[in-house]
C-alpha cells in the first residue's frame, strides 16, 4: 500500500500576472477551460490556435483576449510568464511543453501531470482574495466539491472588504503594534465595517473603520435575528450559516433543532431560551434583556428563531428593545414553516384561477365574537396557513364553516415539516377538529386550508379523518 505522505509535492504560490502574457495553445474545450480560468486575472491572454471552435471564438470576442490564428511554433511562446499546452493533441502538447521548458517558461499540460511544472487550482475568487485548492491531480471532483463548500462559507462581499482593508493599511500601521492593532483588524473584519460592506454601504463602512481607528470606546456588540428555517439544517440560508460561524453567542429557541444550533462556531456560547422540557425557560422580557446585555458586552450574537424571525417570532419586541438600547441589529430571513409544509406536500400556495392570496394566521384570534379579517379572506379564496393551530383546530374549523366556508374545503396538515420524521395528513375542513385529540403528534404542526390545497400530492399522506373513526378517538377525542 502506498505510504500516505504529509509533504506536498506541489507547493501553492501566487504568481504575479498583472499585464503579463499568458499563452494557451489549443482551440477546443480544454483551451477554453484554461482561458476562462486565466481570464479571472488581469493577465494578457494569448490563445494560439489555427482553428478555434466557435465557443472559444465567442469567448475571445467577449473578453478581448488575443487570438493568434496561426499554426503553432515555439516563437509564439516567447515573453509569456506561463504556458498552457491545451490542444488535446498529445504530440503537439508534448512539443509545446518541451519548447516552454527550453525557453524557461513554466508549463501546464492539460491532463498530463508528467509534463506539468505547475497545476491549476480550483479557485474561489473574491478578488483581491483568492483561495486556491489543489489535490496534486488526485481528485478534480474533490477539489470542485471543496471549492463549492468554501465558496458558500464566504461572503460575496469579501473582496470588497479586503479592498477596503488595503486602503486602511497605512493608517493601521500607525497604531501601536500588538494587541491594539490586532484588535483593530479583528473588529474591522468582524464588526461594523464588515457589516456595512455586506449591506453594500461603502461610505458607512469607511466611516465605521475610521471610527475604529480613532476611538478607544469599547467594541459595540451586534445582534442578528436569524431565521433558522423549519428544522432541516440544509434549509438554513447561507447568510445564516455565515453569521453562525462568526458568532460569539448563539441564543436559540426550543423549536430550533440541535443539529441547526450545532452549525455554529464550535466555541460559541450557546444559550437556550425556549420552552422545552429540561431547559431553562425565559420570559420574553428576560430574553429582550439578555440580548441587550450581550450587545452591551460587545458580543456578536445570533438570535436563532425557528422559521422566519418575523413570522410569529416576537421579533418585534426584541427589535424594539435593541433599538431603545441603541444596539445594532439586523434581520436574516428564514424559510417559514408554511413554505416548508407546502413543499412537503408539493402544495401550490397560490394556484392560477383558484387562489391568488395567502394568509399567515394563528387561529388564536378566533376566540372572540367577531370574525377576524382573515376569515373573510379565506372565504374569498385565500390559502390559509395556521401556525400554532393544533389546540384551536376545532375552533378554526367551526368558525370558518359557520362563516360560510364549505366543510369540504381541502386541508393539509404537516407535523415536523422538512424533517425526516415528518408526517402528512389530508382531509377537509370538517375533519380538522380531529387534530386536537391526536395524542400521537408531539412535534410542531402546520395546517393549510383552501381550495389550492386540492392541488397537493397526497400520495404520502394519511387521511386526517381516519383518526376520528378510530376506536380510541371515540373515547379520548370527546371534548368535555
CB atoms under 10 Å from CB of 54, counted, come to 7
Min dist CB 443 to ligand SAH, Å, is 7
Cα-based angle 236, 240, 245 (whole degrees, multiple of 5): 115
Q: Among 272, 363, 433, 444, indicate the residue that binds ligand SAH (CB under 6 A).
A: 444
Q: Among 231, 264, 274, 433, indicate the residue that binds ligand SAH (CB under 6 A).
A: 231
Min dist CB 314 to ligand SAH, Å, is 9
Q: Which of residues 82-121 bind ligand SAH (CB under 6 A)?
A: none
Residue 349 φ then ψ, to 5°: -70, -30
Catalytic residue, chosen from 248, 253, 308, 451, is 253
Min dist CB 221 to ligand SAH, Å, is 24
Chain centroid to Cα 218, Å, comes to 31
| 3-class state of residue 287 by DSSP | helix
Q: Is 275 a catalytic residue?
A: yes
Min dist CB 448 to ligand SAH, Å, is 10
Q: Is 344 a catalytic residue?
A: no
Rounded Cα distance, 115 and 263, in Å? 43
Min dist CB 415 to ligand SAH, Å, is 6
Taking CB under 6 A as the binding criterion, the range among 60-68, 91-99, 235-243, 415-423 that sits at the site for ligand SAH is: 415-423
Rounded Cα distance, 433 and 450, in Å? 16
Q: Among 221, 230, 264, 274, indicate the residue that binds ligand SAH (CB under 6 A).
A: 230
Dihedral sign from CA coordinates of 431, 434, 439, 443: positive
**Contact between residue 237 and residue 295 where contact means Cβ atoms under 8 Å apart:** no
Q: Does 417 bind ligand SAH (CB under 6 A)?
A: yes
Q: Among 187, 198, 308, 451, indicate the residue that binds ligand SAH (CB under 6 A).
A: 308
Q: Among 21, 32, 224, 255, indicate the residue that binds ligand SAH (CB under 6 A).
A: 255
Q: Does 388 bind ligand SAH (CB under 6 A)?
A: yes
Name 319's Cβ contacts closer than 8 Å, sequence gap at least 6.
225, 329, 331
Q: Does 303 bind ligand SAH (CB under 6 A)?
A: no
Q: Does 10 bind ligand SAH (CB under 6 A)?
A: no
Rounded Cα distance, 152 and 157, in Å? 12
Rounded Cα distance, 34 and 14, in Å? 17
User: Closest residue (Cβ) to ligand SAH?
Assistant: 307
Crossing angle for the helix pair 158-173 and 179-190, nearest 10 degrees?
160
**Contact between residue 49 and residue 31 where contact means Cβ atoms under 8 Å apart:** yes
Taking CB under 6 A as the binding criterion, the range among 172-180, 208-216, 306-314, 402-410 that sits at the site for ligand SAH is: 306-314
> Is the omega angle on the peptide bond into residue 322 within 30 degrees of 0, that is, cis?
no
Min dist CB 386 to ligand SAH, Å, is 7
Burial class of residue 263 in the structure, from the number of CB atoms within 10 Å of its CB (0-12 exposed, 13-18 middle, 19+ buried): middle
Q: Which is nearer to ligand SAH, 112 or 364 (CB)?
A: 364
Closest residue by Cα to residue 433 from 480, 393, 404, 402 = 393
Q: Which is nearer to ligand SAH, 155 or 362 (CB)?
A: 362
**Contact between residue 203 and residue 192 where contact means Cβ atoms under 8 Å apart:** no
Rounded Cα distance, 251 and 291, in Å? 8
Q: Among 26, 264, 295, 313, indicate the residue that binds ligand SAH (CB under 6 A).
A: 313
Q: Which is nearer to ligand SAH, 68 or 388 (CB)?
A: 388
Q: Does 363 bind ligand SAH (CB under 6 A)?
A: no
Contact code string over 197-226 relative to ligand SAH, x by CB under 6 A: ------------------------------
Q: What totals of helices (H) and strands (E) does the chain contain, helices first? A: 18, 18
| 3-class state of residue 342 by DSSP | helix
Q: Does 307 bind ligand SAH (CB under 6 A)?
A: yes
Rounded Cα distance, 237 and 305, in Å? 13
Taking CB under 6 A as the binding criterion, the range among 61-69, 86-94, 101-109, 309-317 that sits at the site for ligand SAH is: 309-317
Q: Does 274 bind ligand SAH (CB under 6 A)?
A: no
Q: Does 416 bind ligand SAH (CB under 6 A)?
A: yes
Catalytic positions are 253, 275
Task: List interacting residues with ligand SAH (CB under 6 A).
Answer: 230-231, 255, 305-308, 311-313, 336-337, 340-341, 387-388, 414, 416-418, 444-446
Amino acid at each position: 500500500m502506498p505510504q500516505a505522505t504529509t509533504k506536498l509535492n506541489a507547493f501553492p504560490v501566487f504568481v504575479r500576472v498583472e499585464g503579463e502574457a499568458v499563452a494557451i495553445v489549443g482551440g477546443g474545450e480544454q483551451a477554453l477551460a484554461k482561458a476562462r480560468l486565466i481570464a479571472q486575472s488581469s493577465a494578457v491572454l494569448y490563445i494560439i490556435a489555427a482553428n478555434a471552435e466557435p465557443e472559444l471564438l465567442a469567448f475571445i470576442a467577449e473578453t478581448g483576449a488575443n487570438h493568434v490564428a496561426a499554426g503553432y511554433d515555439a516563437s509564439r511562446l516567447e515573453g509569456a510568464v506561463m504556458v498552457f499546452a491545451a490542444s488535446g493533441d498529445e504530440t503537439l502538447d508534448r512539443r509545446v511543453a518541451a519548447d516552454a521548458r527550453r525557453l524557461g517558461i513554466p508549463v501546464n499540460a492539460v491532463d498530463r501531470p508528467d509534463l506539468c511544472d505547475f497545476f491549476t487550482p480550483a479557485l474561489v475568487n473574491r478578488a483581491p482574495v483568492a483561495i486556491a485548492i489543489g489535490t496534486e491531480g488526485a481528485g478534480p471532483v474533490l477539489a470542485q466539491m471543496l471549492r463549492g463548500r468554501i465558496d458558500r462559507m464566504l461572503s460575496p462581499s469579501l473582496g470588497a472588504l479586503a479592498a477596503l482593508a488595503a486602503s486602511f493599511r497605512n493608517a493601521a500601521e500607525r497604531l501601536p503594534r500588538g494587541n491594539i492593532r490586532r484588535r483593530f483588524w479583528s473588529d474591522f473584519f468582524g464588526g461594523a465595517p464588515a457589516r456595512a460592506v455586506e449591506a453594500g454601504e461603502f461610505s458607512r463602512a469607511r466611516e465605521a473603520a475610521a471610527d475604529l481607528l480613532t476611538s478607544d470606546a469599547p467594541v459595540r456588540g451586534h445582534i442578528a435575528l436569524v431565521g433558522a428555517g423549519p428544522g432541516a439544517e440544509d434549509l438554513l440560508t447561507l447568510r445564516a450559516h455565515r453569521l453562525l460561524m462568526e458568532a460569539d453567542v448563539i441564543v436559540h429557541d426550543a423549536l430550533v433543532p440541535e443539529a441547526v444550533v450545532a452549525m455554529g462556531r464550535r466555541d460559541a456560547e450557546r444559550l437556550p431560551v425556549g420552552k422545552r422540557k429540561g431547559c431553562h425557560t425565559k420570559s420574553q422580557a428576560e430574553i429582550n434583556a439578555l440580548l441587550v446585555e450581550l450587545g452591551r458586552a460587545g458580543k456578536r450574537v445570533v438570535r436563532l428563531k425557528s422559521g422566519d424571525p418575523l413570522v410569529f417570532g416576537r421579533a418585534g419586541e426584541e427589535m424594539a428593545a435593541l433599538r431603545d438600547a441603541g444596539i445594532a441589529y439586523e434581520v436574516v430571513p428564514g424559510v417559514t414553516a408554511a413554505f416548508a409544509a407546502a413543499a412537503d406536500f408539493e402544495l401550490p400556495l397560490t394556484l392560477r384561477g383558484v387562489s391568488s392570496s395567502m394568509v399567515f394566521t394563528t387561529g388564536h384570534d378566533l376566540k372572540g365574537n367577531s370574525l377576524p379579517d382573515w376569515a373573510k379572506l379565506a372565504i374569498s379564496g385565500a390559502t390559509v396557513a395556521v401556525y400554532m393551530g393544533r389546540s384551536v383546530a376545532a375552533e378554526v374549523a367551526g368558525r370558518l364553516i359557520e362563516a360560510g366556508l364549505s366543510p369540504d374545503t381541502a386541508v393539509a396538515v404537516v407535523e415536523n415539516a422538512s424533517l425526516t420524521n415528518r408526517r402528512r395528513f389530508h382531509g377537509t375542513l370538517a375533519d380538522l377538529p380531529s387534530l386536537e385529540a391526536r395524542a400521537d403528534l408531539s412535534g410542531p404542526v402546520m395546517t393549510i386550508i383552501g381550495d389550492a390545497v386540492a392541488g397537493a400530492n397526497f400520495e404520502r399522506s394519511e387521511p386526517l379523518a381516519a383518526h376520528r373513526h378510530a376506536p380510541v378517538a371515540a373515547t379520548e377525542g370527546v371534548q368535555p
